[in-house]
């Protein structure tokens, strides 16, 4: 069965009441958009319980502060990001946290900050998603589609059934279409939304249905099970 493109809004350092307010605002996204996209937010661990209880948004943890922390068992926590370029991890820690997440039926987004690291991760681990994030584009006003076409193509060429996400350089619907048209599973977005003066308006503009056609991804799930 084909799946909706996955869009993860990473709140990064947005925290406390600000994070709750942002989540509540984004929850107002038009239902027609959610018929096309699978949307979730990634929040700091100490905010996760509040956001789960006060919104209906699917929530990912930004990492495991402690593999035994209580947020992992909170109903409504859908998954966790591991090895984000800003929170790089050792192989032993990746394995430990991956196993902890899988034992609790949490989805795992395992990040890579280069094509070589992406290949190594695909060969070594089985995660629900592998997110390839080009460090040169994170937080910059540079379009993925305009600057990194070959990078995307190379990352997807070795996917081997893995669901590949892209982060960095997601500036418009063109970037998302670029990823999905080539077989990607979705994107990670942060600054474009969380730093916007009107985040819901920014997200609505990014995901406006009129800019997308036939938006399903090719891969069903990772084939490394």
| 91 catalytic residue (yes or no) | no
Strand partners, 108: 80
Residue 152 contacts residue 184 (beta carbons within 8 Å): yes
Which is catalytic among the residues 25, 133, 146, 198?
133
Which H helix or E strand runs over 119?
Answer: helix 115-124
| 220 catalytic residue (yes or no) | no
Strand partners, 8: 40, 188
Widest distance between CA atoms in the chain: 45
Which is catalytic among the residues 84, 91, 146, 198?
84
What gap in Å lies between CA 189 and CA 41, rounded to an integer?
A: 10
Closest CA to 189 of 5, 4, 11: 11
- Chain centroid to Cα 35, Å, comes to 18
| Torsion angle of the four alpha carbons 217, 138, 209, 146, in this order, in degrees rounded to the nearest 10 | -90
Residues annotated catalytic, as ranges:
84, 133
């Amino acid at each position: 069965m084909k799946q909706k493109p996955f869009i993860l809004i990473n709140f990064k350092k947005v925290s406390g009441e600000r994070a709750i307010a942002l989540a509540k605002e984004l929850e107002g996204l038009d239902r027609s958009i959610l018929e096309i996209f699978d949307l979730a937010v990634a929040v700091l661990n100490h905010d996760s319980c509040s956001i789960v209880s006060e919104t209906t948004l699917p929530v990912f943890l930004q990492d495991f502060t402690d593999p035994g922390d209580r947020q992992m068992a909170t109903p409504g926590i859908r998954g966790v990001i591991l090895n984000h370029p800003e929170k790089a991890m050792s192989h032993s820690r990746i394995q430990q946290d991956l196993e902890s997440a899988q034992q609790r039926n949490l989805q795992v987004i395992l990040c890579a900050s280069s094509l070589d690291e992406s290949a190594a991760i695909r060969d070594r681990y089985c995660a629900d998603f592998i997110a390839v994030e080009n460090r040169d584009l994170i937080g910059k006003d540079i379009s993925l589609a305009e600057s990194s076409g070959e990078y995307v193509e190379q990352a997807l060429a070795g996917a081997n059934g893995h669901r590949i996400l892209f982060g960095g350089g997601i500036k418009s619907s063109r970037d998302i279409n670029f990823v999905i048209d080539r077989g990607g599973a979705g994107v990670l977005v942060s600054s474009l939304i969380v730093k916007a003066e009107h985040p819901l308006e920014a997200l609505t503009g990014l995901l406006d249905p009129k800019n997308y056609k036939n938006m399903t991804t090719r891969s069903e799930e990772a084939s490394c099970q």
